[in-house]
Structure 1
Amino acid sequence: MSIVNAVIQGILLGGLYALFAAGLSLMFGVMRLVNLAHGAFAVLAAYGALLIVRTGALNPIAALLIIVPAMAVLGFVVQRFILQRTLGTSPLPALLVTFGLSIIIENTLLLTVTADQQRLNLGSFDTAAIALPGGIRIGAFPLAVFVFALVVLALLSLVLSRTQYGRLVRAVSDDPGTVQLNGADPKLIYGFAAAIAFGLVAVAGVASGVQTSFSPSSGSLFLIFAFEAVIIGGLGSLWGTMLGAVVLGIAQTVGAAIAPAQQILIGHLVFLVFLAFLPGGITRQKALR
């Protein structure tokens, strides 16, 4: 693989990582909560799509019409009845509870669907590619995921900056007490933010299930990639998250071109460099936008 081709593939891979990271960034930006079950919920969505595909004779894209609303409702319920109780001055309760949720989800999947690797199939669209000069081929599905990530982040950014709900989200992330005094319910705002985050992670889980295989234990790796993208881009910045995801994707694919067995390790090393020398991320944003 040439370096140019590796960079292009890395940019496309960044689109998938951006979908994983956007929900994590949103929940942290609104609630100051790090959801350690983020990857586990992505895997849960992938298995939900697999079940729908096998029982309903639908393809994974059509299954999203069921999975995304279901995960959004689940996110709202989980936030209102579980995560809301952990919010406070200390981040430790939320970390412990979400870690517990990830363990419960993973072990429940192990008991019900076994540890076998699974994959979602889109037929010919899986292998369809666009040929470019220089022998470079761009996968149609990774390109679609990248474009979708750009559209989703643009819409989410527009909602946060131009709508009444977006203004409430930004206000409650800064001072929930004052927002409540003005008649808005921070708990409801948190719930809808969690619903959006879970809907995004459902799309990411299904997209990842199409691009590669997954198992009940895949959630931890998804979480790491999402966390690294958020930190590289800058906490609180949605476009920073996209940029961080692209940097991480390029680091992995260029690393694979240089040392195929060390692809993931090279991505981790790039993250470590950012953490050591640019801990605020590329955008260095402190407010959600």
Structure 2
Amino acid sequence: MNWLNAVIQGLMLGGLYALFATGLSLMFGVMRIVNLGHGDLAVVASFLALALISGTGLPLWIVLVVTVPLFAVLGYLTQRVLLQRSLSSGPLATLLVTFGLSIVLQNVLLEIFSADTRTLDGGSFATGSFELTGSISVGYLSLTTFLLAVVVLVGIQMFLSRTGLGRMLRASSDDRETANLVGADSRHIYGIATAIAFATVALAGLMFGMRSSFDPSIGPSRLIFAFEAVVIGGLGSPWGTLLGGMVLGVTQSVGAQIDPALTLLAGHLVFLAVLAFRPQGLIAGRTV
């Protein structure tokens, strides 16, 4: 029964990893950008929510509703002002830009909030759970995070396949020049993709902030988990992102069941195994 519980908890953890990885996968699938500041953006969202709660006294759910759209706007502006200029210079330029963004965000957070660890108080929602059996329980927060990941991925998939803007986004991903010839504004489309990516990473940061403590330097570790989930599932594949997150979460949870020291190592070993034997990921196919 302990092993079954480890698998269930790993699946729930995988939902959080998938939520972290969604924006990373989308930006790579559309623009071929690996955003090295992705994890730090999640931490920024957590600190912003903390500041809003402390400064205004608003309940957490209202702060969540405010923060996610705010990050979408920030993502659009970041793409148009910062990332767009580096796209024409090749992938190395975008890597350097996002690496610089990561360093700046960490130091700004450190300057404003200090190095102390914080957490978002989710109350009984963050600590409560319901029992599946006498020895297995699932937390409300964990289940909500997993369901949010599924809803977000379904929404993105429907947006990409059933809307004109989504189809134009896919066309720009395949061939930007040809898409521009038929009326697509690649700068606007890339801005929309980045807005979605920033919104999803903000949501992931808020869920993580209620689940665990955070500090200004924790962003790179969130990036590693997101990147591993993306690679395991398949670069640019929305459903691969969910599968990769679940595989990573279950691997870590089962590894912890064997030996707590294996928690992170087990996930890294699966990541390396996928790179070695199936570098296209578990779900290969068309990106976005």
Q: TM tier, shorter chain? A: over 0.9
Partner residue of 1:21?
Answer: 21
Partner residue of 2:132?
Answer: 132
Partner residue of 2:209?
Answer: 209
Equivalent residues of 2:234, 2:282 under 8 A apart: yes
Question: Which amino acid in 1 is paired with 2:132?
Answer: L
Question: Which amino acid in 2 is paired with 1:123?
Answer: G
Partner residue of 1:107?
Answer: 107
Equivalent residues of 2:172, 2:184 under 8 A apart: no
Partner residue of 2:88?
Answer: 88
> Equivalent residue of 1:217, what SS?
coil
Partner residue of 1:160?
Answer: 160
Moved segments of 4+, more than 3 Å? none
Provide the C-alpha distance between the structure 2 equivalents of 1:19 and 1:132, rounded to a whole number of angstroms.
Answer: 24
Structure 2: runs of 5 or more not aligned = none
Provide the C-alpha distance between the structure 1 equivalents of 2:272 and 2:29, rounded to a whole number of angstroms.
Answer: 22
Partner residue of 2:61?
Answer: 61
TM-score, with length taken from structure 2:
0.98
Structure 1: runs of 5 or more not aligned = none
> Equivalent residue of 2:213, what SS?
coil
Equivalent residues of 2:3, 2:257 under 8 A apart: yes
Deviations 1:182-225 (A, max 9, x none): 12200000001100100000000010000000000110011001
Per the TM alignment, residue 2 of structure 1 is displaced from its structure 2 partner at its CA by: 1.2
Aligned positions of 1:221-240 closer than 5 A: 221-240=221-240
Aligned length: 288
Equivalent residues of 2:76, 2:191 under 8 A apart: yes
Instruction: Report sequence identity in percent.
Output: 54
TM-score, with length taken from structure 1:
0.97
Per the TM alignment, residue 70 of structure 1 is displaced from its structure 2 partner at its CA by: 1.2
Provide the C-alpha distance between the structure 2 equivalents of 1:274 and 1:20, rounded to a whole number of angstroms.
Answer: 19
Question: Which amino acid in 2 is paired with 1:39?
Answer: G
> Equivalent residue of 2:101, what SS?
helix
Equivalent residues of 1:60, 1:206 under 8 A apart: no
Partner residue of 2:6?
Answer: 6
Partner residue of 1:98?
Answer: 98
Provide the C-alpha distance between the structure 1 equivalents of 2:164 and 2:286, rounded to a whole number of angstroms.
Answer: 21
**Superposition RMSD in Å:** 1.1
Per the TM alignment, residue 148 of structure 1 is displaced from its structure 2 partner at its CA by: 1.1
Deviations 1:162-185 (A, max 9, x none): 110111011000111011111220
Per the TM alignment, residue 134 of structure 1 is displaced from its structure 2 partner at its CA by: 4.4
Provide the C-alpha distance between the structure 2 equivalents of 1:258 and 1:231, rounded to a whole number of angstroms.
Answer: 25
Provide the C-alpha distance between the structure 2 equivalents of 1:184 and 1:129, rounded to a whole number of angstroms.
Answer: 48
